[in-house]
Amino acid sequence: MRQLVDSWVEAEKTGYGNTLAEAIKLLSKKCGITLTHSRVAEWRSGKYTPSPKVLSHMLYRVYPWALRRAGLHASEAQLDMIEDLLWKVTVTDSERKIALL
């Protein structure tokens, strides 16, 4: 999982324009946890592994960035289809809600 953590850090920086502090704040909020820079460093070094919910959120943030990095330019419909395959998605009033776990 170390590679996913590293890719998440890079995706947040280059794909979403977030600093590590901003990415940590977003991840903390989305996953309902209190996260520190030191914990992310421990994940990156392999000392600890993120929880399944955190890994799911990281994958959600990384996969569009990874596709673009690989030269694959997926449409919104294609990205939605991938999300439908990976997560539980509900649609209400044209709004997609993704259950990360």
State phi, psi for 19 to the nearest 5 degrees: -75, 170
Tens of pLDDT along 34-89?
A: 999 999 999 999 999 999 999 999 999 999 999 999 999 999 999 999 999 999 99
* pLDDT (mean) for 1-14: 96
* 82 or 1, which is more confident: 82
Q: Which residue has 């998605």 as its token pair?
A: 89
pLDDT-based confidence at residue 94 (cuts at 50, 70, 90): confident
* pLDDT (mean) for 4-29: 98
Please, what sign has the CA dihedral across residues 40, 49, 3, 18?
A: negative
Model pLDDT, residue 13: 98
